[in-house]
């Protein structure tokens, strides 16, 4: 999990999102994102799953790999939309 904080930061930057925008997308506060990115706090499994879904990477890659992948970003698709459609997040 040592790569998770950096991966969150890199993927958020590639998506051209602020911490506030990512927080709003995930339903958490901006301070939670800041703590995850600094490594002070590890996000709960549900948040890690939502991040992986949002950034279209696997949970395994998100938590274990050094960010060296290009983000596949679909700006109209949100985690909330997926959850509302009945798919697992």
Q: For 29-51, how does the pLDDT look when each residue is reduced to its tens digit (9 = 90+)? A: 999 999 999 999 999 999 999 99
pLDDT of residue 83: 45
Neighbours of 74 (CB within 10 A): 9
* Helix H or strand E segment including 17: none
Q: Do residues 4 and 62 make contact, with C-beta atoms less than 8 angstroms apart? A: yes
Give the pTM: 0.74
Q: For 62-81, how does the pLDDT look when each residue is reduced to its tens digit (9 = 90+)? A: 988 766 555 444 554 444 44
Q: With 0-12 CB in 10 A as exposed, 13-18 as middle and 19+ as buried, what is 75? A: exposed
Q: Do residues 12 and 22 make contact, with C-beta atoms less than 8 angstroms apart? A: yes
pLDDT of residue 64: 85
Tokens of 72: 């596949």
Question: At the top level of CATH, which class does the domain 4-84 belong to?
Answer: mainly alpha
């Amino acid at each position: 999990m040592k790569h998770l904080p950096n991966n969150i930061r890199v993927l958020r930057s590639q998506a051209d999102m602020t911490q506030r925008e990512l927080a709003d997308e995930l339903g958490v506060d901006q301070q939670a994102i800041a703590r995850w990115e600094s490594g002070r706090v590890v996000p709960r499994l549900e948040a890690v799953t939502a991040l992986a879904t949002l950034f279209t990477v696997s949970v395994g890659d998100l938590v274990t790999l050094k960010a060296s992948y290009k983000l596949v970003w679909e700006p109209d698709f949100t985690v909330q939309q997926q959850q509302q459609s009945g798919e697992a997040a």
